[in-house]
Each structure stands twice: as C-alpha cells, then as structure tokens.
Chains A and B, each alone.
Chain A
Amino acid sequence: MNSAQKFAWSNLIIIGITLTLSGTITLLFAPQHGIPLIGLLGLVGISSAVFRKRRRRGGINFDERDRLIYERSLTAAHLVFWPFFVAACMLPWLVFRSSGSVPVYMLPMILGGGGVIAIVVQSLAILLQYGWRDKDGDK
C-alpha cells in the first residue's frame, strides 16, 4: 500500500471514528459533550505529515501516475464541495430570510462540513483509483 492510500485510509478512519463518537455521545448524553469531540478531526492534519515523511528522505514514491491520481481526486473533491457550499449558504438564506439573522455558529458548521466532505471525497477518489487494498509492488 503506497503513502497516498495510507493517507486516504487514515483520513477515512479518523473522520469515521470522530463522527461516530461525537454522534453517539450527543445522542446518549448531551450536545455539549458530543460536539467538542469534532475537534478530533484535527488529527487529519497529522496523517498528511506522517505519510509524506518518506518522500523527504529521498525515496521516489510519487511519479506521474500518482500526480494524476492526486489531481483527479482534488477535482472530484471540489466537484462535490461546490454544490454543498452553495446549498449550505443558500438554503438557510431561503429559510431564514424573513427573520433576517442566523446563529453565528452556523459558519464554522458550514466550514467543517465542507472540509469533511472534501476530504472524504478526495480519500474515496484516491482509493477508487489505486484500489482499496495492497497490491504487489506498491510501497
């Protein structure tokens, strides 16, 4: 399994665990206990640093094919992100425009939702292109 696949898997696992944990605790106890756990999504930033470490040591683990897959996955992420972003901003405007204001905590929610969707789609696109499992010769 190469570094991009590991990166994609780690993102999916971190996001999956975080959302499950946060959702479960919110349902079982209270939102004020569950919602702060969403901060665990910050671990996604660490997975990028961990799985790119080998490249800095001089080993070639990123060729033209990897670059193409990475670029395609970014394109897919933004193709899904934009409709979400437009809907997340325009639907509240349509619903609440008579009241004139929305709670400010909606903004970090839009940002977090957009970020999670973009990362999940990017990771899925990476795994769909490389394959979900290890193949001989991949490092």
Chain B
Amino acid sequence: MNRAQKIARFSLIVVLIALTLSAIAVCALYFVVGLPIRRALGGFAFISVVGLCGLSPVLFRKEKGQVEFDERDLLIHKKASLAAYSIFWLLFVAACMVPFFILGPKGTISVKYLPAMVFGGMVTVMLVQSIVTLEEYGWRGKGEKS
C-alpha cells in the first residue's frame, strides 16, 4: 500500500469515527439525557476529531531517496480533488439556497448554521477525496510500495 493510500485510508477512518461519535453523542443527549434538540446538537463537537487528519503527514512520512509520486499518482490526486470539489460545490449551493427558499428573504437562521457549513464542507471534501483515492488505487495493498 503506497503513502497516498495510507493517508486516504487514515482520513476516511478518522472522518467516519468523528461522524459516528457525533451522531451517538447527539442521540444520547437527546434521547437518553433528554436535552432539547438545540442543546443536544452540541454533541457535534465530536466532529473536531477530524483535526487528527492533520497528523497524517507526520504519521506517513516520505522516505528519503525514493520516488513517492509519479504521473499516475498525480492523475489520481487530480481526479480525487475534482470529484471532491464537484460534490462540495453542489452541497454548498444547496446549503445556501435551500434555507433561503424555505424561510424567505426576511427569515432568520441560527448563527450556528454558519460554522456547521464550514465543517460540513471540510468533511465532505476529505471524505470524497479519500473514497475516490482508494477507489482508484484499490482499497487494499497490491504489493506496491512507491
């Protein structure tokens, strides 16, 4: 398994753990503790686990003196980024326009919606980029090391 695959797999696992923990926390706070939904949504704080993805360059260091990234890797990286941003823009437009159409131009929206858009955008890009990278290379190692 090469470095890009390891980073993609690590990011995918971290993002899925963050989403699962957030969903469990929100459900627990709402159904078990009995908090109102607005306060129970505080369980989404677990999404900050995604910050662990920033460790991937340290965890998966480049080996000195080896070619780590060739034209094929570059092409896969470009495809993954293109797919990620294509989906990001669709969701971004929907996230901005759907509340506007539902609430009307004079409506108001909770200010917490704005940071949620940023985190949602980041998670979407990371998730789609990781899935496309693993889909292109293959989900398991095939003996390659570069």
Decide whether A and B assemble into one complex: yes
Q: Is B103 an interface residue (CB 8 A)?
A: yes
B100 to chain A: which residues have CB within 8 Å? 104-105, 107-108
Would A102 and B114 count as touching, CB distance under 8 A? yes
Would A86 and B111 count as touching, CB distance under 8 A? no
Interface centre among A78, A86, A99, A111, by most B CB within 10 Å? Answer: A111
B77 to chain A minimum Cβ distance, whole angstroms, is 11
Q: Is B105 an interface residue (CB 8 A)?
A: yes
Would B111 and A97 count as touching, CB distance under 8 A? yes
A106 to chain B: which residues have CB within 8 Å? 109, 114
A100 to B39, CA, bound (A): 13
Question: How many residues of A are in contact with the other chain, CB < 8 A?
Answer: 23
A30 to B9, CA, bound (A): 54
Would B118 and A89 count as touching, CB distance under 8 A? yes
Would A100 and B110 count as touching, CB distance under 8 A? yes
A103 to chain B: which residues have CB within 8 Å? 106-109
Q: Select which of B97, B106, B111, B121 is within 8 A of A85 by beta carbon.
A: B121
Would B118 and A78 count as touching, CB distance under 8 A? no
B109 to chain A: which residues have CB within 8 Å? 101-104, 106-107
A36 to B104, CA, bound (A): 16
Would A104 and B99 count as touching, CB distance under 8 A? yes
Would A86 and B97 count as touching, CB distance under 8 A? no
Q: Is B78 an interface residue (CB 8 A)?
A: yes
A92 to chain B: which residues have CB within 8 Å? 111, 114
Known: A90-B114, A101-B108. 11 other contacts (CB 8 A): A71-B78, A78-B85, A85-B121, A92-B114, A96-B111, A101-B110, A102-B111, A103-B106, A103-B109, A111-B92, A111-B97
Question: What residues make up the interface of A, taking CB atoms closer than 8 Å to B?
Answer: 71, 78, 85-86, 89-90, 92-93, 96-97, 99-108, 110-111, 114
23 pairs, CB–CB < 8 Å, chain A vs chain B: A71-B78, A85-B121, A89-B115, A90-B114, A90-B118, A92-B114, A93-B111, A93-B114, A100-B110, A101-B108, A101-B109, A102-B108, A103-B108, A104-B100, A104-B103, A104-B104, A105-B100, A105-B105, A107-B95, A108-B96, A108-B97, A111-B96, A111-B97
Question: What residues make up the interface of B, taking CB atoms closer than 8 Å to A?
Answer: 78, 85, 92-93, 95-97, 99-100, 103-112, 114-115, 117-118, 121
